[in-house]
Copies of this chain bind each other. A is one copy, B any other.
């Protein structure tokens, strides 16, 4: 096995999500970080590369420089995959250039700064024929895949109701007034785009609901608020949903739910039963039945489907977490690139990761909830 060579844009000292991407990429030993443009500050970029054991020759001052320089390297040395871990307004540029230069891309979510970029990127990906993955990482959990498969198989009959929540509490105060870097850019419309909480975590909730249920949101009605005085973007949103099969839903995403950590959870109900999954205890999937005792499905446990088993590394009872789920996206991308490099067909169990169409849908969600938040009429078509 040859490791896939990866370059990174963003993720220098002081960043949060860049480190997550690196651990996720490293975990399975199938990807090697060979170069990076870790910061727009060249000095910081260099120091970050040093921290990471990157050869100085391959520590770049900008993504443009990186792509150009790597392009000049022999094919068997040059990076093959670019990981983009910058704030939202800096996704489009490197993604576009990477794809246009023949590099596969893994990009953090949401897809882009605005809708126009999202649509443009979708075209570029389609024309390139390259692999593009978006890290809606929660879909990487085995029990999320179990949930999706059970619903798809009709275990619960027609789905009638979906409740998805993503409450956090970390922005309960005006943290961005201080020097908290994460709070600063995520609440800044110049960097985040038109939405705060709804873009940062609301899109995760939307993506998870559609991924698990296989349904599409048809229309929505949103109450979008900024509850911390002085904040420039929304920090709380409650949304009524109607899905394309007639199911009803609620989506709640918030960064002012004081005392909540990262309490993403989803409940789905069909005619015969339902399920419940909570991200903070991700190895348990509670399955409820109309006329039988509830069942506790577990990562690595009895009766799990092949799709869940394929995304599990260790036996049941050895908890796998956020990084492992995140790594499932990287592992699958590496698997698909390797198959492509070898001219083979990838194992269908390892081709499941969110792509550019998920990203476009996420941007659409952002636009629609913000629109609905301001509307006097009740329902907005998705």
Q: Interface on A for B, CB 8 Å cutoff?
A: 1-3, 16, 19-20, 22-23, 26-30, 33, 50-53, 156, 160-161, 163, 165, 167-170, 172-173, 221, 223, 225, 227, 236, 238, 240, 242, 248-250, 252, 254, 256-263, 267, 269-274, 279-283, 287-298, 300-303, 313-324, 375-378
- Given A161-B254, A260-B274, A291 and B280 touching (CB < 8 A)? no
Instruction: List B contacts of A295 (CB < 8 A).
Output: 292-296
Task: Contacts A223-B248, A319-B322 known; list 16 others, CB within 8 Å.
Answer: A1-B50, A30-B53, A160-B258, A161-B227, A173-B271, A221-B240, A240-B240, A256-B269, A258-B272, A258-B288, A259-B269, A261-B301, A262-B318, A280-B317, A320-B322, A321-B324
CB atoms of B238 and A169 under 8 A apart:
no
Do A3 and B269 touch (CB < 8 A)?
no
Complex CA gap A85/B312 in Å reads 21
* Distance from A330 Cβ to chain B, minimum over Cβ atoms (Å): 12
A–B pairs, 16, beta carbons within 8 Å: A16-B315, A161-B236, A161-B254, A168-B317, A172-B271, A238-B249, A258-B274, A259-B289, A262-B315, A280-B319, A293-B298, A294-B296, A295-B296, A296-B296, A314-B323, A320-B322
A187 to B28, CA, bound (A): 30
The CA of A313 and the CA of B18, in the complex, are separated in Å by 12
Q: Does A27 contact B269, Cβ atoms closer than 8 Å?
A: no
A318: which B residues are within 8 A, CB to CB? 262, 321-322
Task: Provide the bound-state CA to CA distance between A282 and B280, in Å.
Answer: 11
A378: contacting residue among B163, B280, B375, CB under 8 A: B375
Give the shortest distance, in Å, between A294 (CB) and chain B (any CB).
Answer: 4
A98→B378 CA distance, assembly (Å): 44
* Alpha-carbon distance between A338 and B376 when the two chains are bound, in angstroms: 53
Task: Select one of B240, B248, B252, B273 contacting A258, CB under 8 A.
Answer: B273
With known contacts A29-B33, A317-B168, A317-B280, A223–B242 Cβ distance under 8 A: yes
Specify which chain B residues have a CB less than 8 angstroms from the CB of A1 in the assembled complex: 50-53
Interchain CB contact under 8 A, A248 and B225: yes
Contact status B256-A160, CB under 8 Å: yes
Give the 7 A-B residue pairs with the shortest CB-CB distance, closest first: A259-B288, A261-B317, A262-B317, A319-B321, A318-B322, A321-B321, A294-B296
Q: Which of A26, A29, A33 has the most CB of B within 10 A?
A: A29
Known: A252-B163, A302-B293, A378-B221. A320 touches B321 (CB 8 A): yes
A16 to chain B: which residues have CB within 8 Å? 314-315
